Chains A and B, each alone.
Chain A
Amino acid sequence: MRWALLGFLIYFGWALVFTFIQLPSGSPLLPPSHQYPLGTYVNGGNMINVNARAVVDTLLFGIMVALIEVGLGVSYGVLAGSSCGSLRSLMMRVSDGITSLPRVPILMAIIILFATPEVTFVKANFFLTALVVGLTGWSVISRQVSEAVCKGNPLFKIPEISIYQRLRSSWGIGKALSKRFFLPSVVDGIAVYTALGVIAGVGDPNFPTLTTLLNSSRLFDFWWLFLPPAGFRAILLILIFLVSDSMVR
């Protein structure tokens, strides 16, 4: 736990520092050199700054999605689990129905309601996109929370206990599970945004993420536009997984 968390904090600290401390920029698309260790971007920006900002934006997106997914999933799961009877069965049928739906096409259909198609990409507000991604990803969490709540609370076998008292007594289980689901939901948010970015170029130019960088690298044949963002993305996801796994253990 300690090593994974330390690694994550160092990584995030680096990204945060180079998001705000601007290194010298140069001509567009310069290859890596002593002066520009990761080269320069299409606008001449130092690729260290560009990648660092993208890491922060990627993480920010994941955190926003996780807050919505976990909030909704745990609330719905606790509510269903507290009833622990036919109401739970009905609620879980709906939740399972949502889980079985293909998420990416649904999200694309929703996003083009508020996005601006630009022929090569789809410009969609960063925060609204996070909101809709979060609103479509809570059902898996709700199923697991509902099972844990229903099985984990012995009071539910007593019919005299009201739903309000059941909800109150289940809150602790829900709260504990929230911590467990948070980091996997961050990864989920990042992965879904990646899918939307890669399939249809969904992104917000004001909040470039690692996917934005990888997508734009397809327009040029320069390895330093592709390899560092791919590496930073891999490191970010692995570190989140490691921290998450250590927390579960």
Chain B
Amino acid sequence: MRARSLVIISLMLIVAGIYLSFLATQSQRVSLVSYGEGDCALPPSDWQDQYWAVMSKGPPTATVILSGSKTIVLKQVENISLNSSSFYVYVIHGYVEELAPLSLPGILLVFVGSAMGFRGTVLLVQERAIGDLANSRGAGSLSAYVIKRFLSFLISILIISIITAILEILHGENLFKVILELLTFNFGLSRHYGLSVDSLLVSALPYTSILSGISFSLSIYLGSFMAVRSIAQEGLVAKVVRRWKYIGNALASWIIALSLIYAFHLRVENGVNIIFPVIALFFPFIGTYANRLVLPYGVNDPLKAKGLSKTILVYRHMLGSASVVALSTISAAFVDMLVAEFLVESIFYWPGLGFLLRVGAVYGDFKVVEGVLIFYSTIVLLSGLVGDIFYGYVDPRVRR
């Protein structure tokens, strides 16, 4: 019953996370207007902080109307010097993702849901085979475990903040400004886009979130199913899973992505259907997750010597021990997948954080690169913390 509830809650969280991410990708055409009189036309004051859908729909465009008759179309949004003092109307057109911040809870829900689904699937199989013997016991204190995990989270955040601060200072930024930026999570303006880095990050996250949501949950569910099958019975699936280290490296996500582009003659510059990045991402990772679960375990001799039945050996001892180790490494698996997602995004021009990182790097826009670094690190570390606490709660053995 507990396992079934875990699986159902997990599926609900994943669907909710993907739905929130989908809502966050929705953009609508917006016009921002400012007007005034003078010899310099100024754009609306808060235009740089809007969640412009720059990566998916292009940067905003601007028009200045002078004295209600003459219209100037600008290549980019900027202050315009006028020949004489005139009445002007400054209009910025573009697509805005107003719900973009929803992607943050979206990606966290997907992560927690997938982590829960992983434990739930294994537990469900164990319960069906051995009933109440599937329940795990352990003596570790939950509060001590949570404090330990939280301290690790703080240390990691501190290290990443120090690294970012050092890099900013090496780029010639003022120390106090850097500290203030880090404390307020305000990374200034992008040199390439002229927009607030925060708004660029938040408007790119929904695309990363929706892609990782679908791929991660698919990989986790299929991966745990394959792992359980490989542990329970020998056969082709077990052989493939045990050798996945070789196959997974040879057929990495980005190789599959490039192969799909060749096979389907995709013109990625014009946008691509989400199905292609999802295939490139989830396919190698099913095996990777299954491999992580299966590889370190076999039936050890003392247990065999006790004369336990094969069912108890496999479903209680092997699967139980394997899932504890896999649970504690699932955050690392999520990080691996997000790195692979960056590769796939940049290959398919998928307008997420990975593609934003690429644009920042090739244009030498260090504000964007460092913004991606700290934003992405926070998401990863927060996901890891939430996942670890959840596992500590549901499985006492993890707390040791």
A residues whose Cβ falls under 8 Å from a Cβ of B: 93-94, 96-98, 100-106, 108-113, 117-122, 187, 191, 194-195, 198-202, 214, 217-218, 221, 223, 226, 230, 233-234, 237-238, 241-242
Assess whether B209 is interfacial by the CB under 8 Å rule. no
Does the CB pair B362–A201 fall under 8 Å? yes
Does the CB pair A226–B346 fall under 8 Å? no
Q: Which residues from A are CB-within-8-Å of B264?
A: none
- Per the bound structure, the CA–CA distance linking A218 and B347 in Å amounts to 9
Residue among B170, B342, B364, B372 making CB contact with A195, cutoff 8 Å: B342
Assess whether B254 is interfacial by the CB under 8 Å rule. yes
Does the CB pair B342–A226 fall under 8 Å? no
Assess whether B156 is interfacial by the CB under 8 Å rule. yes
Does the CB pair B363–A96 fall under 8 Å? no
Does the CB pair A119–B156 fall under 8 Å? no
Q: Given that A112-B369, A198-B254 are contacting pairs, would A187 and B338 also be in contact in the complex, using a CB cutoff of 8 Å?
A: no
Residue among A106, A200, A214, A226 making CB contact with B163, cutoff 8 Å: A106
Q: Which residues from B are CB-within-8-Å of A98?
A: 159
Assess whether B303 is interfacial by the CB under 8 Å rule. no
5 cross-chain pairs, A with B, having the tightest CB-CB distances, nearest first: A234-B250, A200-B361, A117-B364, A105-B373, A97-B155
Which A residue's beta carbon lies closest to that of B385?
A100
Smallest CB separation, A144 vs chain B (Å): 13
Does the CB pair B159–A226 fall under 8 Å? no
- Per the bound structure, the CA–CA distance linking A12 and B185 in Å amounts to 49
- Per the bound structure, the CA–CA distance linking A241 and B244 in Å amounts to 11
Assess whether B15 is interfacial by the CB under 8 Å rule. no
Smallest CB separation, A149 vs chain B (Å): 21
Interface residues as binary, B360-377 with A (CB distance below 8 Å gives 1, 0 otherwise): 111110100110110011
Does the CB pair B258–A105 fall under 8 Å? no
Interface residues as binary, B55-88 with A (CB distance below 8 Å gives 1, 0 otherwise): 0000000000000000000000000000000000
- Per the bound structure, the CA–CA distance linking A113 and B251 in Å amounts to 32
Does the CB pair A105–B251 fall under 8 Å? no
Smallest CB separation, B370 vs chain A (Å): 5
Interface residues as binary, B371-400 with A (CB distance below 8 Å gives 1, 0 otherwise): 011001100110010000000000000000
Q: Which residues from B are CB-within-8-Å of A121?
A: 362
Does the CB pair A202–B381 fall under 8 Å? no
Does the CB pair B362–A118 fall under 8 Å? yes
Does the CB pair A200–B358 fall under 8 Å? yes
- Per the bound structure, the CA–CA distance linking A233 and B255 in Å amounts to 10
Does the CB pair A93–B361 fall under 8 Å? no
Assess whether B333 is interfacial by the CB under 8 Å rule. no
Does the CB pair A226–B262 fall under 8 Å? yes
Q: Given that A105-B357, A198-B346 are contacting pairs, would A241 and B249 also be in contact in the complex, using a CB cutoff of 8 Å?
A: yes
Given contacts A109-B163, A241-B245, 11 further A-B contacts (CB under 8 A): A97-B152, A98-B159, A100-B335, A102-B373, A106-B163, A108-B361, A108-B369, A109-B164, A198-B254, A199-B346, A237-B249
A-B contact pairs, 11 of them (CB 8 A): A100-B380, A108-B361, A108-B373, A119-B363, A194-B254, A198-B347, A199-B346, A199-B361, A217-B258, A230-B258, A238-B246
Smallest CB separation, B49 vs chain A (Å): 23
Assess whether B171 is interfacial by the CB under 8 Å rule. yes
- Per the bound structure, the CA–CA distance linking A3 and B210 in Å amounts to 45
Does the CB pair B249–A122 fall under 8 Å? no
Does the CB pair B156–A109 fall under 8 Å? no
Q: Given that A93-B152, A112-B366 are contacting pairs, would A199 and B245 also be in contact in the complex, using a CB cutoff of 8 Å?
A: no
Q: Given that A122-B362, A199-B354, A214-B258 are contacting pairs, would A105 and B377 also be in contact in the complex, using a CB cutoff of 8 Å?
A: yes
Smallest CB separation, B273 vs chain A (Å): 18
- Count A-B contacts at CB 8 Å: 140
Residue among A108, A113, A191 making CB contact with B357, cutoff 8 Å: A108
Q: Given that A194-B254, A198-B254 are contacting pairs, would A102 and B343 also be in contact in the complex, using a CB cutoff of 8 Å?
A: no
- Per the bound structure, the CA–CA distance linking A51 and B338 in Å amounts to 30
Does the CB pair B167–A113 fall under 8 Å? yes
Assess whether B275 is interfacial by the CB under 8 Å rule. no
Which B residue's beta carbon lies closest to that of A199?
B346
Which B residue's beta carbon lies closest to that of A239?
B246
- Per the bound structure, the CA–CA distance linking A93 and B332 in Å amounts to 16
- Per the bound structure, the CA–CA distance linking A108 and B163 in Å amounts to 12
Assess whether B339 is interfacial by the CB under 8 Å rule. yes
- Per the bound structure, the CA–CA distance linking A6 and B395 in Å amounts to 46
Which A residue's beta carbon lies closest to that of B170?
A113
Q: Which residues from B are CB-within-8-Å of A112?
A: 361, 364, 366, 369
Does the CB pair A237–B160 fall under 8 Å? no
Assess whether B239 is interfacial by the CB under 8 Å rule. no
Does the CB pair A218–B261 fall under 8 Å? yes
Q: Given that A97-B155, A100-B152, A102-B376 are contacting pairs, would A109 and B342 also be in contact in the complex, using a CB cutoff of 8 Å?
A: no
Assess whether B151 is interfacial by the CB under 8 Å rule. yes
Assess whether B306 is interfacial by the CB under 8 Å rule. no
Smallest CB separation, A238 vs chain B (Å): 5
Smallest CB separation, A196 vs chain B (Å): 9
Q: Which residues from B are CB-within-8-Å of A94?
A: 155, 159
Interface centre among A105, A201, A202, A223 (most CB of B within 10 A): A105
Q: Which residues from A are CB-within-8-Å of B250?
A: 233-234, 237-238
Q: Which residues from B are CB-within-8-Å of A102?
A: 335, 338-339, 373, 376-377, 380
Does the CB pair B361–A198 fall under 8 Å? no
Does the CB pair A200–B346 fall under 8 Å? yes
Which A residue's beta carbon lies closest to that of B344?
A198
Residue among A96, A202, A233, A234 making CB contact with B361, cutoff 8 Å: A202
- Per the bound structure, the CA–CA distance linking A223 and B372 in Å amounts to 34
Does the CB pair B258–A199 fall under 8 Å? no
Smallest CB separation, A84 vs chain B (Å): 19
Q: Which residues from A are CB-within-8-Å of B259?
A: 226, 230
Q: Which residues from B are CB-within-8-Å of A214?
A: 255, 258
- Per the bound structure, the CA–CA distance linking A119 and B364 in Å amounts to 9
Does the CB pair A119–B361 fall under 8 Å? no
Does the CB pair A200–B357 fall under 8 Å? yes
Assess whether B265 is interfacial by the CB under 8 Å rule. yes
